[in-house]
Structure 1
């Protein structure tokens, strides 16, 4: 079998891989961030990416592939400039997530051929290209239906607002997320997920700072504070567990 060509991962990526390895007592522990590093170069984990990680970490290709195929954040097909993840888990689906996904699939697809899960509208990697995917729970039930672009949140969406959002992305715009850091490209985010940020503090802060808590999320805590509600403290000696009937 032909060995994949890893030359796409130049000296700078090799240096970053070495830095990742140095962060862990066992080199194989660097595999997860190294896979994000690979995705920052190619927009997905190719066979060359698997080979590169295996060589850097002295693992077999099978060991690397087992991890790649387990985690959904590692993509096996080239992704667009932006990854749009629509939550279609129970609550978001009931609130309109399924309708949002269907509308985007039709809007981004061809006539009579809507996009399927992890399909891309446009040429992968080029400006304005978009990969669409179902997402299993984005942990924002209080703000549903939600979607993410490159893992940044856009809350309280409708089919119409979601179409406006992807149209702006296709024009090269970067609409501000509802909360979190300013929007960048998927490959830039993958580099951050690998653990590499600008060395300049101001540039770093500008890239990651942003509102993170929503009014809806804090409403319960605010109600408790306004009404003086507190949870009972744990007793110093917890009550004994009931006896279990012997079989």
Structure 2
């Protein structure tokens, strides 16, 4: 994610986040998360707590969120561990941002399947709207990052924007998604063509009745097998 190579450590950000505390709902959520682990193993909750903290920062700044140093120090204190152990986790996993990002974090997959299927066209749609890799637009709306595989290769090319995947993209459909977000709308998530998840485009080509209900084909298969034996 953005910010992994541009660690923020300055007096202004420290002052802004020095008094970070959980919001009431998040305090309950954090206690619930920590309670899942045996006594003495609370540090195992570091990933979900960092995610919770990043989301709270995002809610307070109207962005996707990031992890200022005082926030990571707060999480370390919550778990009774050292700041460096929390920092090690935060800088290892790219789901955590080490610098401020925009309202929408546009992560374009550039790995081979997406590249072969048109990720350059997806990036072109971003560039035409003023997005630049590793930067946030002047209006604070978009941060653009090129990332490694996001696990939707069958529906390449794809992007992840905050928590949502957008798949089977073209330059035109990516442009439409960005424009909708800029207008404050919620674009359709998932495949941008006529398919359900990773099903064939246009609908199922085999076992079609399963699309309607949990159809039992076993009787037909048994009959077919019996005819073959004869």
Shift of 1:81: 2.2
Contact 2:105–2:161 (Cα < 8 Å) also in 1:
yes
TM-superposition CA deviations, 1:169-216 (whole Å, max 9, x none): 01100012126xxxxxxxxxxxxxxxxxxxxxxxxxxxxxxx963323
Contact 1:145–1:156 (Cα < 8 Å) also in 2:
yes
TM-superposition CA deviations, 1:88-123 (whole Å, max 9, x none): 1011112111231243134234xxxxx123x22245
- Of 41, 47, 51, the residue aligned with 1:32 is 47
3-state DSSP of counterpart to 1:131: strand
Measure, in 2, the Cα distance between the counterparts of 1:152 and 1:11: 26
Match of 2:157 in 1: 145
TM-superposition CA deviations, 1:62-96 (whole Å, max 9, x none): 11000000000000112222222211101111211
- Of 21, 24, 31, the residue aligned with 1:18 is 31
Shift of 1:8: 4.9
Measure, in 1, the Cα distance between the counterparts of 2:177 and 2:118: 16
When normalised by structure 1's length, the TM-score is 0.65
Aligned length: 185
Shift of 1:24: 1.2
3-state DSSP of counterpart to 2:136: strand
Measure, in 2, the Cα distance between the counterparts of 1:154 and 1:63: 34
TM-superposition CA deviations, 1:29-76 (whole Å, max 9, x none): 110000000111111111121111111001111110000000000001
Measure, in 2, the Cα distance between the counterparts of 1:159 and 1:99: 5
Shift of 1:12: 3.9
Match of 1:132 in 2: 144
Gaps of 5+ in 1: 110-114, 180-210, 229-247
Cα distance 1:14–1:108, how it changes in 2: closer, same or farther (>3 A)?
Answer: same
Output the aligned Cα RMSD: 3.0
- Of 64, 69, 76, the residue aligned with 2:86 is 64
Shift of 1:148: 2.0
3-state DSSP of counterpart to 2:190: coil
3-state DSSP of counterpart to 2:107: strand
Match of 2:119 in 1: 97
Question: Does residue 51 of structure 1 match 2:102?
Answer: no
TM-superposition CA deviations, 1:117-156 (whole Å, max 9, x none): 3x222454xxxx1222112112222211111222322221
Contact 2:53–2:67 (Cα < 8 Å) also in 1:
yes
Contact 2:154–2:198 (Cα < 8 Å) also in 1:
no
Higher mean C-alpha displacement, 3-12 vs 16-25: 3-12
Measure, in 1, the Cα distance between the counterparts of 2:158 and 2:52: 27
Cα distance 1:156–1:213, how it changes in 2: closer, same or farther (>3 A)?
Answer: closer
- Of 92, 98, 105, the residue aligned with 1:76 is 98
Measure, in 1, the Cα distance between the counterparts of 2:97 and 2:35: 25
